[in-house]
Each structure stands twice: as structure tokens, then as C-alpha cells.
């Protein structure tokens, strides 16, 4: 007889979906707050961090469609080429999914060094996201490359643990308040 493993997912209500959308709106605000100033060099890619967080904690909600929609919203509201962020976020979704599946295979290692595994997860996802965006800019002829282009990757990795704690704190507060 074949053993069957059933994965039981925690049920989420509509209010929690509202909290996810609120975190995405806050991440949009932080993304555009940095803009194209000097602050953009030290600012992580907030929408991508938020989507990575929700993909890890609520994978049924943070789907490929949500990643693409966030990228499209960023395309429309910024001076980027229409579709460049959408494609970059869609590729980031694929990378997140592959890294999560590879991480599931090495679950014991993850338990031992969870912080390092999550930092490596963020490093891979954000770096490939930025590499994709850089390739699109190069293909269109709008390449203004500098090694400072990759500093948001570094700051995303450094701020990931505090970002997770911050979102979890407010998520718990939001659940109790609703």
C-alpha cells in the first residue's frame, strides 16, 4: 500500500489577505520613497522582500500572478520600460519557487543554520532579480552600469531578519486586533 502525505495548509481569512495587501502598499511606498536619489543605493527592494516573505509564509496567496501584477504596477508607476519589472518579478517568482523546493530537500541543514539559509535565499532571489533587470536594460540600450547597482542586494540580505521580525510582529498584532 502506498503512503500518501497530505499537506494541510492553514486557512487564512479575508482580513489576513487585507494585511498582505497593506504590507504590499507599504512596500510600494518605501520603494518610491527611495526613488532615484542617493537613498536608492542603500535601500533594499521592498516589494520583492515583501513578496518573498509572503511566498514563504502564505504560498497560495503569493502566486505567480501576484508577482507579475506587482511588477506591472511598478512598471506603470515608474519610469521603467513597460514589462521590465513584470518580467523581472515573474522570474523572481520562479527563482523563489525553485529555491524553496531545493530547500525542502535539505530540511535538516536548514534547521541547523536557519538564519544563513534564509540570508542565502534572499541573496539568490534579489541578485537574480537585479541581474534580470540589468539584462533587460542592456537589451533595450538603457544600460548605466555601476557596481553600486548591486548594493540593494546587500542591504536586502542585511535587513531581511529585521524585516521578518517586523512583519511577524504586526501580523500577530493585526490577527489579535481583528
pLDDT tens for 69-92 read 999 999 998 877 888 899 999 999
Query: Which domain covers residue 124, as residue numbers?
Result: 14-177
Enumerate residues 6+ apart whose C-beta is below 8 A from 3: none
Dihedral angle sign, alpha carbons of residues 137, 124, 155, 52: positive
Higher pLDDT, 7 or 156: 156
Q: Is the pLDDT of residue 151 over 80?
A: yes
CA gap 163, 32 in Å, rounded: 18
Query: Is-above-0.85 flag for pTM?
Result: no
What would the pLDDT profile of 29-51 be if each residue is shown by its tens digit? 998 888 767 777 788 999 999 99
Assess if residue 6 is contained within a domain: no
CA gap 79, 162 in Å, rounded: 30
Assess if residue 5 is contained within a domain: no
Assess if residue 4 is contained within a domain: no
What would the pLDDT profile of 87-143 be if each residue is shown by its tens digit? 999 999 999 998 888 766 556 445 555 667 788 889 999 999 999 988 988 888 877
CA gap 89, 67 in Å, rounded: 5
Which of 150, 132, 124, 128 is CA-nearest to residue 85?
A: 132
Distance of CA 159 to CAs 4, 27, 81, 134, Å?
Answer: 39, 14, 28, 22
Number of domains in the chain: 1
Amino acid at each position: 500500500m502506498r503512503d500518501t502525505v497530505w499537506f494541510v495548509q492553514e486557512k487564512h481569512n479575508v482580513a489576513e489577505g487585507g494585511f498582505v495587501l497593506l504590507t504590499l502598499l507599504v512596500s510600494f511606498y518605501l520603494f518610491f520613497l527611495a526613488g532615484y536619489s542617493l537613498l536608492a543605493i542603500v535601500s533594499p527592494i521592498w516589494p520583492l522582500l515583501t513578496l518573498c516573505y509572503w511566498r514563504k509564509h502564505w504560498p497560495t496567496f503569493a502566486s505567480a500572478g501576484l508577482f507579475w501584477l506587482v511588477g506591472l504596477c511598478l512598471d506603470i508607476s515608474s519610469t521603467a520600460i513597460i514589462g521590465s519589472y513584470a518580467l523581472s518579478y515573474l522570474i523572481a517568482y520562479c527563482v523563489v519557487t525553485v529555491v524553496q523546493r531545493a530547500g525542502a530537500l535539505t530540511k535538516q541543514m536548514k534547521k541547523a543554520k536557519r538564519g544563513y539559509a534564509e540570508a542565502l535565499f534572499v541573496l539568490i532571489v534579489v541578485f537574480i532579480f537585479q541581474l534580470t533587470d540589468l539584462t533587460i536594460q542592456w537589451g533595450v540600450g538603457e544600460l548605466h552600469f555601476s557596481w553600486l547597482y548591486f548594493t540593494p542586494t546587500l542591504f536586502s540580505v542585511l535587513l531581511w531578519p529585521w524585516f521578518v521580525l517586523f512583519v511577524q510582529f504586526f501580523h500577530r498584532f493585526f490577527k489579535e486586533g481583528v
